[in-house]
Amino acid sequence: MLQFSKRLDHKGVKVTLVTTLSMIKTIHRASSSSIALETISDGYDEGGMANAESIQAYLDRFWQVGPQTLIKLVEKMNVSGCPVDCIVYDSFLPWALDVARKFGMLGVVFLTQSCAVDSICYHAQKGLLKLPLTGLPPLQPQDMPSFIYDLESYPAFFDMVVTGQFATIDKADFVLCNTFYELEKEVVDWLAKLWPLKTIGPTIPSMYLDKRLEDDKVYGFSIFEPNSEVCMKWLNDREEGSVVYVSFGSLAALETEQMEELAWALKQSDKYFLWVVRASEEAKIPKNFPEKTSEKGLMINWCPQLEVLAHEAMGCFVTHCGWNSTLEALSLGVPMVAMPQWTDQSTNAKNIMDVCRMGLKAPADEKGIVRKEAIEHCIKEILEGERGKEIKENAGKWKKLAKEAMAKGGSSDKNIEEFVANLISFK
């Protein structure tokens, strides 16, 4: 949402980004930004979700306190000389539409997952999953988002992602999605018949796409402090296309057995690897593994992912296939080895392998563990095998299309222009 804010700002719209006070206290700000920042409360200002008794308790409290504090913030801004004309809100917070309507403003949904996943969740909410899904490959149950494949796994999240997310979407003035048209044409066309949908992504810094926004080189926020200097110095000493980058994002917690299988796969592949292991996950690493692999690998708690993926040494990306990481890999043309864990990642992995054809999904066994042989095979197939040549070519194709979408006159750029024009005419 911050990156979309920068795009609007570049087109002359004054933007204020709003997040929770608890989140502001935990993030690292990487650079100054022209985007103003304000906060609301989730009811747990000192620790966020970590201080709640349960996820459901957190959501219940947030849904009670969030609208109240957002109303107060809008009232404050309206008397400050810069009144609010529109609220763009994360689709997981549908109550923001009620706040917009209270003030007679435009209410705009921002979908943060792929249109493919949005379509699946919408069908689930409407009880239509048995129908063919337009624009999607044939899906097995395990290709569905985890909330749908295993209904009992995360009931609170199911209510938010499937039920709540689409409860009032039909009433929104616009629906924005962090994807680009060329990536999901058929699904976008189908959803656009339901809602006033506009694709406005990929929302990554302009430096990696069209380069039209000066100094837009980083997101600006990071949940953890990245060790940029160590990462980049190490990558600079590696040959082009030789490094396997491994990261499972800021939330996924792999089982100890899975961490061990991944570790030995990296060692057996005999490839250079850069592995992001958060401090909370370090105890799961096999004993003495860093010492045994020091000539080939670098393990680090956090790194600047975009810089790493864009580096010429990058060969492939082993990841859970979260949507943001997937869009980054697509935009930078990096082949992927998919090891999905939960939420939308299984569907993203399916699309990366069978639709975009720019990666491989490492199969899990009956215990849900991806064994070292499977991971090693995928890495070597991409870096050395015949199939890897096609995968790399396809990755390059998607990189080109992502750049074109955000460039002047591209599909996403036109949609942002049209959205801004509608804001101006509404005002």
CB 337 within 8 A of CB 321: no
pLDDT of 30? 64
pLDDT of 152? 67
Residue 234, C-beta contacts closer than 8 angstroms, at least 6 positions apart? 274, 298
Q: In the beta sheet, which residues pair with residue 216?
A: none
CA distance 280 to 251: 10
pLDDT of 75? 97
Element (H, E) at 120: helix 115-125
CA distance 120 to 101: 28
- Residue ranges and CATH numbers for the domains of the chain are 2-219+407-426 (3.40.50.2000), 226-402 (3.40.50.2000)
pLDDT of 406? 98
pLDDT of 32? 57
**Hey, which bits of 120-242 come out as E strands?**
174-177, 197-199, 221-222
What pTM was computed for the model? 0.95
pLDDT digits (tens, 9 = 90+) for 367-418: 999 999 999 999 999 999 999 999 999 999 999 999 999 999 999 999 999 9
pLDDT of 16? 96
pLDDT of 50? 85
pLDDT of 132? 80
DSSP letters along 336-405, please?
EEE---STTHHHHHHHHHHTS-SEEEPPP-TTS---HHHHHHHHHHHHTSHHHHHHHHHHHHHHHHHHHH
CA distance 172 to 16: 20
Helix segments in 79-114, DSSP class H: 95-102
Q: Which of 120, 67, 75, 142 is nearest to 349 (CA)?
A: 142
Q: In the beta sheet, which residues pair with residue 336?
A: 317, 359
Torsion angle defined by CA atoms of residues 93, 98, 100 and 105, in that order, rounded to the nearest 10 degrees: 140
- Which residue stretches of the chain have pLDDT < 50? none
